[in-house]
Amino acid sequence: MFSLAELEAAARSVYAAMPPTPQYAWPLLAARTGCDVWVKHENQTPIGAFKVRGGLVYVERMKRERPGVAGIVSATRGNHGQSLAYAGRRFGVPVAIVVPRGNSVEKNASMRALGAELVEFGRDFDEARGEAARIAAARGYEMVAPFHPDLVLGVASYALELLRAVPEIDTVYAPIGLGSGICGLIGVRDLLGLKTKIVGVQAEGADSYARSFAAGRVVATERAETVADGMATRVPDPAAFEIIRNGADRIVTLSDAEIAAAMRAYFQDTHNVAEGAGAAPLAALVKERGRMAGKRVGLVLSGGNVDLEVFCRLVGGA
């Protein structure tokens, strides 16, 4: 996937714009789960999510190697788009982002504040992706695929930080949207020669990777409906699926109620805000706490970008 030298060079590109994020062991989470729990706080990046790392590496390399590109365009539910908008502003590149109608109000506002042109189109991520491709062709913009190798390389820097900082992690739980985060984690685990198990996490209402993992082939779904919009993908990326199929131990699926309970637990136990995808790894560990009792576990809190109304409704619920 990538070499250690490539990964460390990408990390330096990331650190030119932001410091490494912390990883903390939280006692109340340990009491809740019966594990030695380490949380990787990707909710503490400049955009509140791990995706910023990939955008920085992608756009920095594009400016060096393809300086004539007129602009970039991509589809997103929010964090990928914020990443590209942040990097585009840093490097002076025009950015157009397509989101499905009804997307997160606050993620949309953040992308606009970062200077992106925001286009609302379609009923879900996959329809928005088709419109992004049309814009790319019409304007001569570079279409940024959500699983581009430079994006994976950039986000893998979080995994390098975690796995170097916390020795002998038995298992790391990571959410799966289109797959860059978990694939970067698998790649770093393999580069470092560790035995750490990687567990993917999905919502029951958006379980295309879980179905694919069980079937041994790519399986698309008709719908992707979950409170965890960062995991709402109907069509798995084939390259990401192969890495997950060969490198993940298993995939855990969760109800929206379990995800909401984990959002509440993060706030109660750590006073951190976690979006649905960010809370999903904790929900999966709670679900598997009997199996994981006494082990050292890493949780990727991938982001904290959730609309206030949604957060209050989910966290304030019974």
Residue 232 has a pLDDT of: 86
Whether the Cβ atoms of residue 74 and residue 81 lie closer than 8 Å to each other: yes
Residue 2 burial (C-beta neighbours within 10 Å; 0-12, 13-18, 19+) = middle
Residue 4 has a pLDDT of: 95
Residue 25: strand pairing partners: 38
Q: pLDDT tens, 129-176?
A: 899 999 999 999 999 988 999 999 999 999 999 999 998 999 999 999
- Alpha helices per DSSP H over 168-288: 180-191, 208-215, 238-247, 256-270, 276-287
Domain ranges for the chain, please list them: 4-50+149-315, 52-143
Q: Kindly report the pTM of this predicted structure.
A: 0.95
Per-residue pLDDT for 318 more than 70? no
Domains 4-50+149-315 and 52-143 equal at CATH topology level? yes
DSSP 97-112: EEE-TT--HHHHHHHH
Which pLDDT band, with edges at 50, 70 and 90, does 316 fall under?
confident
CATH number of 4-50+149-315: 3.40.50.1100
Choose among 232, 244, 262, 228: nearest CA to 185: 244
How far separated are the first and last CA of the chain, in Å rounded? 44
Per-residue pLDDT for 194 more than 90? yes
DSSP assigned state of 39:
E
Whether the Cβ atoms of residue 235 and residue 227 lie closer than 8 Å to each other: no
Q: pLDDT tens, 38-67?
A: 999 999 999 999 999 999 999 999 999 999
Q: pLDDT tens, 197-216?
A: 999 999 999 999 999 999 99
Residue 190 has a pLDDT of: 97
CATH number of 52-143: 3.40.50.1100
Residue 77 has a pLDDT of: 82
Residue 32 has a pLDDT of: 98
Residue 78 has a pLDDT of: 81
